[in-house]
Amino acid sequence: MEAKSIILPGTTGLIENDPNHDGVDRRGFLKCMAWAGTGAFCLMAGGVMKSFALGPQPAKTHHAGELSFVQISDSHMGFNKAANPDVAATLKAAVDKINALPHPPEFILHTGDISHLSNPEEFDNVDQILKATGKQVFFVPGEHDVLNDNGASYRQRYAKDAKGDGWYSFDAKGVHFIGLVNVLNLKAGGLGSLGDEQLEWLEDDVRHLKASTPIVVFAHIPLWTIYPQWGWGTDDSARALSYLKRFGSVSVLNGHIHQIMQKVEGNVTFHTAYSTAFPQPAPGTADGPGPMKVPAEQLRSVLGVSDVNFVRKHHSLAVTDSTLA
């Protein structure tokens, strides 16, 4: 399996200097990106990313954090086209991967597109498969989960106690998690949308928190503009991020684009996860963002899960992307 690095135009200058004098520079960032496809250990510390390639025995080199959780995304249960005729099998492989982690995660975040067509049996199937992790799963919807009823059935199933269209927050070991919904009420010609009601809730939700509280925001469509031509961004994400400016550590976890990408901007680290179903092309490398067919034997090397570790002492969040191969 070949590692595939995805580096966005305009992001290569993110880590150009070395303010902490810890020997990490842009080259280190690029190296991390290059390794990400095969399982890299990326440590964000004070906005600077360090990279370590995982050895053959990750357990021995892993920097176990105080809080570990896993992000999975874009299961697309119900999809059965050429790009992956068996998305249940690859979701099961993701579960196996999670269950084999050397340090069990506290819980799982699913960043949307649970189903392909919002059908109840598709949600049932995912719920059944994820049960094998024995972990609580926190969901946010993707656009495929709210297709015909404005998200009513999604909320009934996954977000009964949530606010508005299904947004909520919770705390785990001192880290504040915020699940946002940016796939509803999309405007013609626009991108993902959070909307005024949700943004006002967000402002209020973080108001009482100390600036030292680590924040993890998770939502389906990226909260940074990756490729607007394909709708890969959120119209009002800047307003959301403005409410989080005063916090020392903000991590934003998204899905939607079916490939891993990372960006560091000040104290905010952005990360998108692999899909467990099928890959999509890198921005602008195809006529459209549709499912990308790869040779069957390569499929699991472009799907995966993200293992996230938080180390309070280092004021850092480490994201490990591993493929299903």
| Residue 99 within binding range of another protein, rule CB under 8 A | no
Structure tokens at 261: 């990408």
How would you label 110-128 residue by residue, b for 16+ Cβ within 10 Å and e otherwise?
bbbbbbbebeeebbebbee
The CB-of-215 to another protein minimum distance in angstroms stands at 28
Of 1-9, 94-102, 244-252, 288-296, the window that binds another protein (rule: CB under 8 A) is 288-296
Sign of CA dihedral 33, 37, 42, 44: positive
Contact with another protein (CB under 8 A) among 20, 148, 212, 242: 148
| Residue 55 within binding range of another protein, rule CB under 8 A | no
Contact with another protein (CB under 8 A) among 287, 295, 297, 313: 287
DSSP alpha helices (H): ranges in the chain? 26-36, 58-61, 87-99, 120-131, 152-158, 196-207, 237-242
Residue 286: which of 255, 257, 324 has the closest Cα? 257
Map tokens 């896993």 to a residue: 70
The CB-of-232 to another protein minimum distance in angstroms stands at 9
Residue 159: which of 148, 173, 145, 172 has the closest Cα? 145
| Residue 186 within binding range of another protein, rule CB under 8 A | yes
The CB-of-79 to another protein minimum distance in angstroms stands at 8
Contact with another protein (CB under 8 A) among 29, 41, 69, 79: 79
Binding to another protein in span 245-284, by CB under 8 A: none
The CB-of-58 to another protein minimum distance in angstroms stands at 35
* Binding footprint of another protein on the chain (CB under 8 A): 79, 81-83, 116-118, 143-144, 147-148, 186-191, 228-231, 287-291
